Structure 1
């Protein structure tokens, strides 16, 4: 379906309204429902799941040190409209439509983090084995940042997010306010996603099986990667935004399931990056192009003051050999057609914030963690963290307050955006190694010196691209809460099968027993009591996407 680009204006998500505010903070009730929404002038209304019948969901604005309490209410139907592979994670024994909300990038207690097995169904009728509470609490003690909320239910995160279950959570503070950054109408979120639509009725298309499925593949069967052929920003297909000739702040979020982007402006003007996942950088970083993996946030200032009357397109660099007619080379348009309402008193500061360096901390443990790719017992693509399945015993048990060095060793042939819950970490650099030699012998042979982090990777991060054939070095302090969390690849098709692992942050002073996930503490048994030996994946697959 060839949809005409730049015919719909960019929508701005509505602001969520609290039901009440008291001395404990702001209280919200946000409902998940099935509904239809028009995503393009020429499309019929599209069936979606959404928060408060909106796609994306309403934006929650919060202030630092002022807690927020949200009752995430599941009023979705019993059956999903997207194809569920019920052969993974015992989904044939679970309700079809399950949800649990993760506030991505937030420092929250474990019982409000959205653990994948803390799911629940409509009206909390059925609950997952790790369900603990109906109302989630977000303390908001961290610095200002662009966070986002999305579904995190075990085995179907890719489908629930693709169906529309995501929204923004903007945390503000006084330190940021003092910088005189563009604000109010000039502070605009851009949630970028890709989708494919069925031509007959405008419904969402999602593949039932991989291309060329094996004879023993189930139907439906999970796919290892899915890239749509249509770009949406804030829930609208290839929109345009009319702007004044002045400075604007844009909060960009890559909300796609699998696709990364390399963004630039077609007039070659400069982005001024001011923030990443965990808030403000130390100093502003001028860029003409930047890479942008799933779940990453990048905040930039664009100055339109010298471009009155011009049309500027935000583009996606697909590489030197790309098809020039590929539709995903375009993201959206800026039309500098509005009159200037008043003098622009906003600034592009050189210095933004002070970020303490975690290198000063004592490192208590170094972990070498591989990103593995292979095929399962029926030949289906299988992605793992450190060659372990989700239900294998927990191996990452950092102590509360401890600082650890995580070496993410990517032995697959494509990049993975790695996300660690609870914390914001710092990137120390990337070290290349000979991937061909590793595939032949299993030996890690380093190549050249360590590559320092990019200028715009030197702030607080919760998601980082781990390139193929490189060791991505992260320094992490595990605080402020103990409990059960996860870390995973944020390509959602990988996360669902099976590139996600539990992580327990241990408080040595607390004797209270914490929840034990099913099968994690020991190997599960057969009916006769003998341990089940899970088959490890076969050698790496050719999965270059």
Structure 2
């Protein structure tokens, strides 16, 4: 249950963030060692963390359209400040879609248009990006296409990555398509069924605003998917996994440089590699428990963390068969199911998996663990297996038809180097040695052409491409990795590694983004713009 929060309450929220930042900047508190397989630093909570497996798994509510016509479903979401109970007995101020965290789940049909009207009653500007959406550029959530607060906006003084590049006195950043109060985002959904998510994409402040709650699921269905006997209904469950740190009073703890999220982007120097929290949340609940029947379940796993990578496993594993059968990824169904002992998920990646709890005796407690965590972050959630039930679901040997992009038909290769670098005289993150400039187009691919894009990394960088998914061709001198199957829109790039992907853009011309989805890296300029032609 959420309640409205005053502006004073919101300033308490960001004030706590500023306090965390001050501590981090002097190295006095908050840094930790939970960094195996990560490019990030641990920020610890100041109060006691809750007992694991004490709260039930919540499932975000499915939002109903305000109205529908022959071609389109219409929704309205109010972005507002609220306080919610995340840690038992405490209230956490959030920035929330409809005042909830996660936001409501939207469900759409492939080929049927969806229009979502967003009303911004927050005290900060926002931008909404439908992650994985095949979306026209005006509705994709370009980071300077701000939706200003309905109550007015004064950015104050400071500097952003737009400094020296035509910064607007109204927005405090480079001027884009700026609206006040209300914006309609139209999604044609000429794309396959897939697990998408929507989140804030405001230039320079994405990390802080997503951390405070601006994220939710958007699921797309189609005939191909619905013809399959995969688990459905109550046994098709979205799982948004993320990590957070908390103040003693229950507020989110985040090391923002600008406590009011107005004009100075980024985090304190101790956390410029990324922010790890010490509390794992699933659908907004700390280490929850879910009662499951002894049957198959489909879990739509989303890593919605700012920077944390996970290696998910089940403890105990099943007596026979694979713990996870992967049936889908970022861009929808795979061609064939894949048995996976673990799931390695970088920020923004999605994995649709089936877990067969009939392999366990009723009464068994099955824990989803994180093998890249330690202490409390080695736990994710728990399943309590109840009685046996009739289960008509199955996993077919063939799931979907996937067109293979032929690398031999690529018209060119582009290289994108992700590394630390100079950002207007300060430390930051760059692509090809350059910080982001929203007006500079670093590539102009033609619609319909296949291109090879080579991503090269110094450290861990989850690389996300807007508009269209891609297919992983190789990792270094090897083929695709275990978790690279199917259509991807985000790829887990590891230190000193290069990954080649085949990409083909279709339907829409205009500016889009390529960026690191470690949100602290993104906010410190690790983005590049390209224009499809």
Counterpart in 1 of 2:4? none
1:343 Cα shift? 1.4
Provide, for residues 186-223 of structure 1, a one-character-per-residue CA deviation record: whole Å limited to 9, x for no partner: 00000000000112x1111112469xxxxxx9996673
**Offset at 1:466?**
1.4
Q: Which residue of 1 aligns with 2:486?
A: 459
1:273 and 1:456 in contact (8 A); partners too: no
Q: Secondary structure at the match of 1:244?
A: strand
CA contact (8 A) 1:285 1:456 kept: no
In the alignment, structure 2 segments of 5+ residues that lack a partner are 1-47, 154-169, 259-264
Q: Is 2:517 the partner of 1:490?
A: yes
Query: Relative to 1, partners in 2 of residues 1:220 and 1:171: Cα closer, same or farther, differing over 3 Å?
Result: same
Compare the two structures and name the one with the higher strand fraction: 2
Of 206, 229, 232, the match for 1:180: 229
1:363-378 to 2 correspondences below 5 Å = 363-374=410-421
Structure 1 length as normaliser, TM-score?
0.80
User: What is the 5 A alignment of 1:8-47?
Assistant: 8-41=55-88, 43-47=89-93
Structure 2 residue aligned with 1:423, among 458, 468, 481? 468
Residue of structure 1 in register with 2:401 after alignment:
354
Match of 1:524 in 2: none
Match of 1:202 in 2: 250
Using the alignment, how far apart are the partners of 2:432 and 2:81 within structure 1? 37
Deviations 1:94-138 (Å, cap 9, x if unpaired)? xxx110100000000000000000012112856752217721110
Q: Per the alignment, in what secondary structure is the counterpart of residue 111 of structure 1?
A: helix
Does 1:189 pair with 2:245? no
**Range moving further from structure 2, 125-134 or 296-305:** 125-134
Matched, 1:105 2:105: no
Native 8 Å contact 1:33 1:50 kept in 2: yes
- Of residues 367, 378, 386, the one that matches 1:329 is 378
- CA deviations 1:267-318 (Å, max 9, x no partner) are 1231000000000011100011121000000010000013121000000002
Partners of 1:285 and 1:455 within 8 A in 2: no
Distance (whole Å) between structure 2 residues aligned to residue 187 and residue 219 of structure 1: 37
Counterparts in 2 of 1:219 and 1:38: CA distance versus 1, 3 Å: closer
Asked if 1:317 corresponds to 2:371, the answer is: yes
Given the superposition, is the C-alpha separation of residues 186 and 119 from structure 1 closer, same or farther in structure 2, using an over 3 Å criterion?
A: same
Task: Name 2:51's counterpart in structure 1.
Answer: 4
For the pair 1:382 / 2:428, whether they are aligned, the reply is: yes
1:402 aligns with 2:455: no
Report if aligned partners of 2:441, 2:511 keep a CA contact under 8 Å in 1: no
* SS in structure 1 at match of 2:406: helix
- Give the secondary-structure state (helix, strand or coil) at the position aligned to 2:192: coil
**What displacement does 1:23 show?**
2.3
Alignment pair present for 1:230 and 2:279: yes
Task: Give the whole-Å Cα distance in 1 for the aligned partners of 2:241 and 2:498.
Answer: 28
Matches within 5 A, 1:297-308: 297-307=350-360, 308=362
The question of 1:60 aligning with 2:106 is answered yes
Out of 328, 347, 353, which is 1:294 matched to? 347
Q: Secondary structure at the match of 2:358?
A: coil
Alignment of 1:91-240 (within 5 A): 97-123=124-150, 129-131=175-177, 134-199=183-248, 201-208=249-256, 223-240=272-289
Question: Residues 152-171 of structure 1, C-alpha deviation per residue, up to 9 Å, x if partnerless?
Answer: 00100001100100000000
Contact kept, 8 Å, 1:245 with 1:305, in 2: the verdict is yes
Q: Which has the higher contact order (CA 8 A, sep 6+)?
A: 2
Cα shift readout 1:471-496 (whole Å, capped 9, x = no counterpart): 20011001121111111000000001
Q: TM-score, normalised by structure 2?
A: 0.81
Which secondary structure does the structure 1 equivalent of 2:142 belong to?
Answer: coil
Q: 1:426 to 1:48 in 2, by over 3 A?
A: same
Cα distance between partner residues in 1 of 2:290 and 2:414: 46
| Cα distance in 1, alignment partners of residues 68 and 266 from structure 2 | 49
What is the distance in 2 between the residues matched to 1:471 and 1:255?
A: 24
Q: CA deviation at 1:458?
A: 2.0
Residue 383 of structure 1, CA deviation: 1.0
Match of 1:475 among 502, 509, 517: 502
Structure 2 Cα separation of the partners of residues 374 and 360 of structure 1: 31
SS at match of 2:55: coil
SS in 2 for 1:160: helix
Q: Distance in 2 between matches of 1:228 and 1:455?
A: 27
Q: Given that residues 111 and 132 in structure 1 are in contact (C-alpha distance below 8 angstroms), is that contact kept between their aligned partners in structure 2?
A: no
Q: 1:21 to 1:209 in 2, by over 3 A?
A: closer
Q: Deviations over 1:343-371 (max 9, x none)?
A: 10000122111111111673122112211
Runs of 4+ in structure 1 over 4 Å off: 124-128, 217-222, 375-378
Q: Distance in 1 between matches of 2:227 and 2:101?
A: 32
- How far apart in 2 are the matches of 1:50 and 1:305? 37
Residues of 2 paired with 1:361 and 1:157: CA distance?
37
Larger radius of gyration: 1
Counterpart for residue 529 of structure 1? none
Kindly tell me: are residues 360 and 228 of structure 1, through their superposed partners in 2, closer, same or farther at Cα, counting changes over 3 Å? Answer: closer
Contact 1:34 1:47 in 2 (8 A): yes
Question: Take 2:352 and 2:207, find their aligned partners in 1: how far apart are those partners?
Answer: 25
Q: Which runs of 5+ in 1 are unaligned?
A: 78-96, 211-216, 432-449, 507-545
